[in-house]
Each structure stands twice: as structure tokens, then as C-alpha cells.
Amino acid sequence: MPHAFSRTTRRVASTTLFLGALAASAAFAPCASAQTVAVNPGTTYQTIRGFGGFGGAGWAPELTGAQVDAAFGTGPGQIGLTIMRMRIDPDPSKWSLQLASAQLAKAKGAILFATPWTPPASMKTNNSLISGRLSTSHYGDYATHLLNFAGAMQAGGAALYGISIQNEPDFDPGTYESCLWNSTEFINFLAGQGSRFGTYKVIATESFNFSKTLTDPILNSATAAPQFDIVAGHLYGVSPSDYPLARSKGKEVWMTEHYTDSTSDANDWTKAMPVALELHNSMVANYNAYVWWYIRRSYGLLTEDGNVSKRGYIMAQFAKYVRPGYVRIAATEKPYADVYVTAFKSSAGKLVVVAINNGTSQRLLQLQVGSAAPAFTKYRTTSVDNDGYAGQYTVSGGVATAYIDPGSINTFVSQ
């Protein structure tokens, strides 16, 4: 069974701000004075690789064509995901189970990466799919196993972008597929086998709590560091944080698995707003990618009936408008104590500003962009809105002025 059902979920403290669906913004008195959001396209941070989720075929029914459209499409009522995470089953005979949905996501421009939860039992010290370690004598066999999966996907029209070495190597659930690794094992495996992966982006370590203690020695290894490309981790029990060492070594930093709550329906607004805050914090932490756990689940981006959930619409406020290749740029992060802002630009100079109002009062923002944009279109998700059109805002004297409602995620897209 996937581990999403076995962990104690982490709740974001701000959840307590919301006791139910918020009333229409007219019920709240707007603030008296505006706060400036200074957007500076000349100061750049990380390049965004994308936003995504886990497909789950093999552990759950495969996504249907309509569900892939809802998750990866960019039209009305769609999320705009650009990354699909896949599972490398230890049994090669089952690899084709997720091929159809991967093909569809790939056709929509998504990048695919795959993660193993365990090597085949025959390659492990305990001859089991649960717990144990990879035998040093099977390092070469294991690399071949991973590359064979990539080859099968390539042959099936679903070529991978990246390959992870191991899911959560520092967490032993004891009840489902897993394998333990330490830093030395990663160093030895990468030093000996890393060059075999060619143009595939090699991903390590997908620690369950984004442990830098696990990845620091690998990054500092002269033999292992050149053999992988992406430092990845999960956010169970921790908050997003910057990783200067990884960036100094030229590695992208990806958050490849999390869910903020699994005890309630994904349309419960009080449990949905923390997703927006975690997305914001991940961007501020210089993450290049953010990947949710199951795409379709009762607590997922799609609910089990295939409809986009509130969590999905919150993800859409980032995913649909901040596209792969966009770069995060400087912007006033907290113009109010309860407002969180990030900004991005495309290579063509298009600006996107995402503003989250986590409070209970309407807020007035002055987006100071100079000559970088003539006007903005706003899209909004609230307890009652779903990534809906929310108006046009002209830039006058280098400034666009806009209210943002309490309990809302607002994306301003330059025209």
C-alpha cells in the first residue's frame, strides 16, 4: 500500500484562520491604505521546471484520458500540470500499466520522471521488497533495471526526463515497498554507475523530510556529485527551506512528494489554503519544481470522480500561468502580515504575480512594475471561485492597483 495512508499528516498553522467557507468579499471592509509590491524583473532567482503530481497506476486505477486532460490541460477547468511522477515497479512485467496515461501527459508537453520504491527482491540484502538494502554486488544490475524501465517507456512513446535512484531512502515503513540507503551507499552507487544514465537527469535522494544531512556528503563528493543533476526531497514533517549548497553545486532542487492533509475531502476549503502557502514557500525556497502526491485521490488535485478539486484549482493558480522556463524574480514577499507574493517572468518578458491573501480582510495592493507591463489580467480561486477571471488592471505611472479578497489566491498575468 502506498505510504500516503500510513503517515501522520502535517497541518499548516494558518489553517485555524478559516472556520468555514468565507463569505463574499463585500461582507468585509476593505483596508484603508494600499501596500506596494515592488516587482523587479532585473533580479532573478530559480528557473521553474514545473508543477506536477504522481500518476499512481499499479497502486490505483490509471488516469483516464479525460482526467489527464483535466490535470495537464491549460483550458478552463483544467490545472495545467507540467510534470508527471511515475513509479518503477520492481516487476518489469507491470511496467506497461502506466504507459497509456504517461503517453497522454507527454503529448501535452509534460516531462516524466520515475521513482523506484524498491529494487527487485533478488538484489536486496533481505531478499524482500520491504525494508533491507541494495546489495553492493548488485549495483550494476540495479542500474540496468532502472535503465530498462526508461527504455521501455522510450519504446512506448513516453520518454523519461529523469530517473530517481530511490524513494525515501531514510524512512523504513515496514509495511510496503521500501529500501534503505545512506550517504556512502549513494556516493558509491553514483560514482560507479552514474555515468551509465547518459542524458537522463539523475535524481537523488528523495528523502522523506528533505534531509540535508543525507545529501550534503553526496554533494561534497568529488566522485558522486558530477553524476547526478537534481536534489529532491519530500516535505513530511518539515517546511520548505533554501538549499544553498545544492545551488552552489549547480543542482536543481525539486520537491517531489507531499500532501498537506489526507483526512478530509480535497474540496474542504480550510484544508485547501495550506496548499497555497506551501506552494508559495517552496517558490521562495528556490525550488525549481513542486510535485504533489496522488493526482487523483479524495485529497488530491482531482477527486476520485475525476473533477478538479479546490486543491487542484489552487495548484492551477501557479501551474497554469507559471510555465516551464519561467524565472522567479524579485517582489515584495509580504506587503501585509497575511499576504504572500511571488513573481515570475518568461523569456519574452511576460510577468506573472501570484498574491495569496491568507487573512480575513480585503487587501489593497499596488503592483509597482514600471514599464515592464502595460496591464494585467487577474485570475482568482476562493471558497466560491475556481481559477476564475477576476478583472483587468491597467498599469498607470508604472503601478497597477488591485484589491485581493480574504481567503484568496490571485494570479496577475501581464498582457
Domain boundaries, the chain: 16-43+328-414, 49-324
8-state DSSP, 343: E
Looking at the domain covering 49-324, what would its CATH class be?
A: alpha beta
Confidence category of residue 33, pLDDT binned at 50, 70, 90: confident
Average pLDDT over residues 299-307: 98
Catalytic pick from 168, 177, 206, 252?
168
Q: Is residue 247 pLDDT above 70, yes or no?
A: yes
Give the CATH fold of the 16-43+328-414 domain.
Answer: Immunoglobulin-like (2.60.40)
Write down the pTM of the prediction: 0.92
SS3 content of the chain, % helix, strand, coil (to 5): 30, 30, 45
* Residue 278 is a catalytic residue: no
* Residue 333 is a catalytic residue: no
Catalytic pick from 62, 177, 185, 257?
257
Q: What order of strands is seen across the sheet that includes strand 339-345?
A: 388-394, 375-381, 408-414, 351-357, 339-345, 327-331, 35-47, 363-368, 399-404
Q: Is residue 17 pLDDT above 60, yes or no?
A: no
**Torsion sign, CA atoms 56, 93, 159, 287:** positive
Q: SS3 of 92, please?
A: helix
Tens-digit pLDDT profile for residues 86-109 = 999 999 999 999 999 999 999 999
